[in-house]
Structure 1
């Protein structure tokens, strides 16, 4: 059971947020609020208000950051209004006023239109589709599921609000990142904070790999998961997260972030970032996470050696594969048996665990195909139960099988579209938007987490924040590209000759038409000399 310190850390996070926003700029403060909250607020602590989602370590940091940003914007707007009053002018808003001409020339005058990017239209459209999908799930899942010893209720109108609010609060870090992490320096801030948080966490990882995963017990009074799952030829660190697998993927993200900073030579300290990359890679190996280690070591050469253009291409290929993974998995395009046999040659126990997961996913995917459009909804209706006793016989590990079982194909494409589309759009629009190595590295970090979503349930606030930062960077680059683009032909100012009547000769005859002079000099005749 969580002790008083665990409760205190959660409920004092608004004070931590206030301190971070007071000492840091807006972008780094936002990243630090969400990252530190994810890493140090304990699991299984929170409160469940009626008609609202659970306020825990996944919601509290994003909610505190949202309130801090709203207060900060209101304070800055007040400062601008007071400065305008002191200068004797009217209080101006963020957008400049446009003077609209009046009088006879008003119809011919063109009011300059504000150039806005269409990139950010993807997010509200996808969110709207997810809301409609929740309504469709209610319409198709009103019937209850009966067993001999239990009854699983149908989806009620009350559950629609719960499904929508849970989805909105889950993507809140994405919305904040898309709004406040648009500038190129904000992308660097995300990378630096990932690397430095990974450095601090690596000390705790090394400690628990040697002394056993006991920090959560010593500080917060409980263990966040099953102890038996954290004995992998030694101790698997869990620190303050929900599972040791999440520690592994976070250390992989931190390792890749340090490699990106070394690639772009951030601050002129390339060798320092390379040493940090090596240290974090060693801590990742000591965390005893085979999957995260393989992902990190596969992407490290891509970040350090491969040209930026190919990095965008690799990110787009990974994103497209993850986006349509259920289709490839169901049609047999993924060589599951070959993957199991390959891992078996390295670690037979891990191969047996993966084989069990794949067989379980086949059964869950078969049940999800019974309602492929909007899924089974909540209450565990998409899981597999014993027909006689009603006992739950399924184990859902991968996020993809959980999402497609609950939300169907519409919900899966919506949720994973928010995560995968930035990598795809960046690869397509790389030249037009002048994206560089920082953006390609951040995309590869996002892709590392996307790969981990296939076997594990590691959809956490950092991945939403990184995806939001990429959405915001694309939006800013798109707006700047549209501003630099020359006006279209119909918007240009054309000078026309006045329509004056032709002058007449003294005899009343019209003048002969003038000969048109070519814009280039005529060729001269060959000389006879």
Structure 2
């Protein structure tokens, strides 16, 4: 950690407090999460005994909670637990149960519960209390769109000079392996994120939001620039981010939105949720092997090329090993400390880790079992399904519902990415909390109640002068 990186993380708390002081609370929450995730330094943390590590995510969560207590304390009382909150509650409790069932002790369980709550529970909770209506969803959509416009020039710079901005600003590279930034005949930008895959998913989200804000009539221009030009700019940037997976997510996201626009149905979204749920079921029960995996690899070869298909095959092979071990503790998993991984003796007789955990789903399954796996993906799928049934696709093209609809699409596409990668993003967790809160709110009445039809007697003037005043 360099001094400037430590300094930025230390002053983030007063910056967030200032945002709450000078901005509306909802805008301050959205700005704090987006700015922290896009610009704060990587791999910087401060450790405090008995508390979760103070890093980019926890610093933002602590700061917003403190600001809420100071400037908006009544907001905390607005939270009412609902059935859509059950998956996130279970996901936060799972580390404690997994530790206890693996005899790792209550201290380990409580530590894991606090870490999970700070990473997932608090962003979800803040989304529930701040973004739980259509106005809040629009605020988040605008935040993602504007951040995409700000991030795009930085992505274009790094696509030419290679990922260097983190080193220039903070004095060290934020990525783990520089070789992974070389893709498709150029450089894959990282900017201030941990991996180019995270940048790809974020720019995918910004592009889809820009398209739908334009098509739903929310924006026809921004910064005095027509929206079609801004959408084109984000599209070109998205291509130069060089993330094959993000390309495919974008294509499917556009399909979902176009079908909603022209056919007025949400079938592609529901089909994706169903397909992902079925895939996770097959994977967790050890039935995703053989012909099923070979078919997907063959399709990936035709679409993305042999190199990407080989990467996918490598992941499937490792997941098969990890699932075999996960089946031994299928309910609540193996707990932490790498106990979910597969070990074997090498040529020197030393025990070494022979497994690679690339995706969130296999990590959740191995560490917290099918309960944890169902909870983390259920926290995304259930709010999305509830939204699709409460707000039919016929309403998605309206300026009022459109921003929320595209946020729902993005969160499901993020879940798709989580079946292949483990690129955590608290902004999407914030979004799922907002969607859940929106769906748990009582629907507004179609019209105001009619007033009594009984006519109000008119007071007659008592004098001629009063009669003249009535005229």
Under TM normalisation by the shorter chain, which class is it? 0.7 to 0.9
CA distance in 1, matches of 2:330, 2:29: 38
Q: Would you say the 8 A contact 1:315–1:443 is kept in 2?
A: no
TM-score, normalised relative to structure 1: 0.76
2:329 alignment counterpart: 371
Shift of 1:485: 11
Q: Would you say the 8 A contact 2:264–2:394 is kept in 1?
A: no
Q: Would you say the 8 A contact 1:248–1:289 is kept in 2?
A: yes
Q: Which has the higher helix share?
A: 2
Q: After the TM superposition, which residues 57-72 of structure 1 pair with which residues of structure 2 at under 5 Å, given as runs?
A: 57-72=56-71
Change (3 A) 1:430 1:309: farther
2:197 alignment counterpart: 245
TM-score, normalised relative to structure 2: 0.85
Q: After the TM superposition, which residues 199-238 of structure 1 pair with which residues of structure 2 at under 5 Å, given as runs?
A: 199-224=149-174, 225-232=176-183, 233-238=185-190
Q: Is the partner of 1:58 in helix, strand or coil?
A: helix
CA distance in 2, matches of 1:185, 1:277: 23
Aligned with residue 186 of structure 1, among 133, 136, 141: 136
Larger deviation: 441-450 or 377-386?
A: 441-450
1:302 pairs with 2:253: no
Shift of 1:183: 2.5
Shift of 1:59: 1.3
Change (3 A) 1:302 1:278: farther
Q: Would you say the 8 A contact 1:364–1:401 is kept in 2?
A: yes
Q: Would you say the 8 A contact 2:134–2:438 is kept in 1?
A: yes
1:287 pairs with 2:241: yes
1:254 alignment counterpart: 206
1:164 pairs with 2:113: yes
CA distance in 2, matches of 1:403, 1:14: 31
Shift of 1:277: 2.0
1:36 alignment counterpart: 35
Q: After the TM superposition, which residues 383-394 of structure 1 pair with which residues of structure 2 at under 5 Å, given as runs?
A: 383-387=341-345, 388-394=349-355
CA distance in 1, matches of 2:12, 2:239: 32
CA distance in 2, matches of 1:474, 1:317: 20
Shift of 1:306: 2.9
1:453 pairs with 2:415: no
CA distance in 2, matches of 1:208, 1:173: 30
Q: Is the partner of 2:387 in helix, strand or coil?
A: helix
CA distance in 2, matches of 1:7, 1:243: 21
Q: Is the partner of 1:386 in helix, strand or coil?
A: strand
Change (3 A) 1:180 1:132: closer
* Residues paired across the two proteins, number: 433
Shift of 1:15: 2.4
Q: After the TM superposition, which residues 443-522 of structure 1 pair with which residues of structure 2 at under 5 Å, given as runs?
A: 443-476=408-441, 478-480=442-444
4+ aligned runs moved over 6 Å, structure 1: 432-435, 482-486
Q: Would you say the 8 A contact 1:323–1:417 is kept in 2?
A: no
CA RMSD, 1 decimal: 2.8
Q: Is the partner of 2:115 in helix, strand or coil?
A: helix
Shift of 1:432: 13
| CA deviation vs aligned residue, 1:89-108 (integer Å, no higher than 9, x gap) | xxxxx99xxxxxxxxxxxxx
1:493 alignment counterpart: none
Change (3 A) 1:437 1:127: closer
1:353 alignment counterpart: 311
Shift of 1:437: 2.7
Q: Is the partner of 2:187 in helix, strand or coil?
A: coil
CA distance in 2, matches of 1:411, 1:70: 31
| CA deviation vs aligned residue, 1:424-447 (integer Å, no higher than 9, x gap) | 112233369977333221111111
Change (3 A) 1:221 1:183: same
Shift of 1:50: 1.1
2:372 alignment counterpart: 411
Q: After the TM superposition, which residues 415-454 of structure 1 pair with which residues of structure 2 at under 5 Å, given as runs?
A: 415-430=376-391, 436-454=401-419
For the pair shown, the structure with the greater C-alpha radius of gyration is 1
Q: Would you say the 8 A contact 1:384–1:393 is kept in 2?
A: yes
Shift of 1:197: 0.4
Shift of 1:267: 4.0
1:20 pairs with 2:49: no
Q: Would you say the 8 A contact 1:312–1:443 is kept in 2?
A: no
Q: Would you say the 8 A contact 1:263–1:303 is kept in 2?
A: no
Shift of 1:130: 3.9
Q: Is the partner of 1:403 in helix, strand or coil?
A: helix
Q: Would you say the 8 A contact 2:265–2:393 is kept in 1?
A: no
- Which 5+ residue runs of structure 1 have no aligned equivalent? 78-93, 96-115, 143-154, 487-529
